[in-house]
Amino acid sequence: MNGFMTILRRDLHLAIRQSIDSMTVVMFFVLVVIIFPFGVGPEPNILARIASGVIWVAALLASTLSLERLFQIDYEDGSLELLSLSSVALEVIVLAKVTAHWLTTGLPLIIIAPLLAILLNMNKEGFLVLILALVVGTPSLSLIGAVGAALILGARRGGVLLALIILPLYLPVLIFGVSAVDAIMNGFEAKAQLLILGAFLLAALPLCTWAATTSIKQAIE
Amino acid sequence: MLHHFANPTRFLRIASIAQPWVAWATILLAGAGLYLGLFNSPADYQQGESVRIMYVHVPAAWMAMFCYISMAMAAGIGLIWKHPLADIAAKATAPVGACFTFLALFTGSLWGKPMWGTWWVWDARLTSMLVLLFLYLGYIALINAFDDPARGTKSSSILVLVGLINVPIIKFSVDWWNTLHQPASVLRMGGPSIDESMLWPLLLMAVAFKTYYIWVLLVRIRAEIISNKIRILRLRQVHG
């Protein structure tokens, strides 16, 4: 627990010191969402129909953008290797980094999502479920993304490759996240979709941590 | 026993003996399957002659999933037992599997236009096959993205195992979701529901596709082993 908190505090300090990095991710998120009315036209009914999908896709893309730096910086200056040699298990270190990533990327996205839902004229009923679905879904995005970030350490063109690798793996979270909001807006319950998103998170916690740790060990050999 | 074939030279010798047999098996089986499928089997009472695309579309789709599972098994063996040929086999399978997936999607699209009236529909089966194609492409991109080939194969082995969850989703997608694609008629509880005159050409084509895959796999593994040798010779030339 001590090691987890140490790494978490370190990564949060680094992120706050360069807070422009997480602000960039949030700005990208907002920009992607804002571009859509320019593309599909400002008619409110159409925007309301696509609002949940657009917000989720933008969250996915913003998440992908910020993941490259998760391990890359520590890998390049050798601190990842030193961390792996410490008494703290590499799995705990990976979990701490992923938590820090979610706190500095996922959480700002969740906070700004209602504003964007207003911009896209989303129905009032969908707001709460959108927030809930994002709260349950974005940690899974950080976890799955961590696997991708660990796989591309040392690769050429890592950023684009990362998107190519993890976007197919993001699809289940996207499908159920949008389905939850759409269900509420059509008058149904969203409980099933939220529970499935929770199941994804619970499954991703051990599996993605294991996969990311194995990939990092391959990278620093 | 697995490690008996780990010696690349021994494998090359066995592969060069086996290759003509596999090649002839492919040609004969494909010939028989195509003859039975195109000439000796009935046209569908509803779809007419266009049902014959099934004899290419279904084996291609089966091979797409089979190749991914083979890739995953080879990647697992390479990761766990560090079998030298396992990584090469996984790398060799990837483009073949990607082509089979593309073939399945393409022939399915050609079949869908006369049968369903649309080239494409975003139902569970087609979408999950498209995801499979991107899993293959992601694997090929990742394995070629590193200057050190060993790092590339290790990294992509993990990726294959992570993506393995998609294969049962594809298989059961027509049962779990309300899809336009027809449900399973061969590999299902209660046995095949397809008529024998259509089942035999289908199975012949399926086995023909499998032997074709083994044929191409042997060629590609031999090529990969030889190119590794060339790379080592070049490195020795530079350093020596």
The CA distances from residue A122 to A52, A55, A174, B220, in Å, are 8, 10, 18, 53
Across A2-7, average pLDDT? 90
Rounded Cα gap, residues B217 and B15, in angstroms: 10
Q: Are B63 and B234 in contact (CB under 8 A)?
A: no
Across A89-110, average pLDDT? 93
Across A89-108, average pLDDT? 93
* pLDDT computed for residue B2 by the predictor: 67
Rounded Cα gap, residues A16 and B91, in angstroms: 42
* pLDDT computed for residue A99 by the predictor: 95
pLDDT of residue B109 exceeding 80, the answer is yes
* B13 token code pair: 């010798």
Rounded Cα gap, residues B61 and B56, in angstroms: 9
Across A35-48, average pLDDT? 91
What are the φ/ψ torsions at residue A68 (nearest 5 degrees)?
-60, -35
- CA terminus-to-terminus distance, chain B: 37
pLDDT of residue B36 exceeding 90, the answer is no
Q: Are A141 and A63 in contact (CB under 8 A)?
A: yes
| Residue pairs between chains A and B whose CB atoms are closer than 8 Å | 56
* pLDDT computed for residue B168 by the predictor: 84
Rounded Cα gap, residues B202 and B199, in angstroms: 5
Residues 6+ apart with CB under 8 A from A167: A60, A64, B134
Structure pTM? 0.89
* pLDDT computed for residue B1 by the predictor: 58
Q: Is B177 on the interface with A (CB under 8 A)?
A: no
CA dihedral B152, B154, B159, B164 (to 10 degrees): 130
Of A152, A171, A211, which has the smallest distance from its Cβ to B162's Cβ? A211
Among the residue ranges B3-12, B24-33, B220-229, the one predicted with the least confidence is B3-12
Handedness of CA A202, A71, A150, A158 (dihedral sign): positive
Distance from CA of B82 to the nearest CA of A (A): 13
Contacts of A154 in chain B (CB under 8 A): 146, 148, 151
pLDDT of residue B67 exceeding 90, the answer is yes
- DSSP-assigned letter for residue A188: -
What are the φ/ψ torsions at residue B165 (nearest 5 degrees)?
-60, -25
Among the residue ranges A93-102, B43-52, B116-125, the one predicted with the least confidence is B43-52
pLDDT of residue A141 exceeding 70, the answer is yes
| Choice between A22 and A89, residue whose per-residue pLDDT is larger | A89
Angle A62-A66-A69 from CA coordinates, rounded to 5°: 170
| Choice between A156 and B104, residue whose per-residue pLDDT is larger | B104
Of B134, B148, B158, which has the smallest distance from its Cβ to A211's Cβ? B158
- DSSP-assigned letter for residue B42: P
pLDDT of residue A146 exceeding 80, the answer is yes
Q: What is the CATH code of the structural domain delimited by B21-183+194-239?
A: 1.20.120
Q: What is the mean pLDDT of chain B?
A: 88
* pLDDT computed for residue B94 by the predictor: 95
* pLDDT computed for residue A134 by the predictor: 95
Q: Which domain holds residue A22?
A: 2-220
Extents of the domains making up chain B: 21-183+194-239
Contacts of A157 in chain B (CB under 8 A): 145
* B106 token code pair: 């393409």
Angle B104-B107-B112 from CA coordinates, rounded to 5°: 115
pLDDT of residue A216 exceeding 90, the answer is yes
Confidence of residue A202 (pLDDT cuts 50, 70, 90): very high
**Inter-chain touch B146–A158, beta carbons under 8 Å:** no
* pLDDT computed for residue B123 by the predictor: 84
Number of domains forming the structure of chain A: 1
Rounded Cα gap, residues A171 and A36, in angstroms: 20
B133-184 residue pLDDT tens: 999 999 999 999 888 888 889 999 999 999 888 888 887 777 777 777 777 7
Residues 6+ apart with CB under 8 A from A86: A3, A93
A126 CB burial (10 A radius; 0-12, 13-18, 19+): buried
Mutate to test the interface with A, among B123, B136, B144, B158 (most CBs of A within 10 A): B158
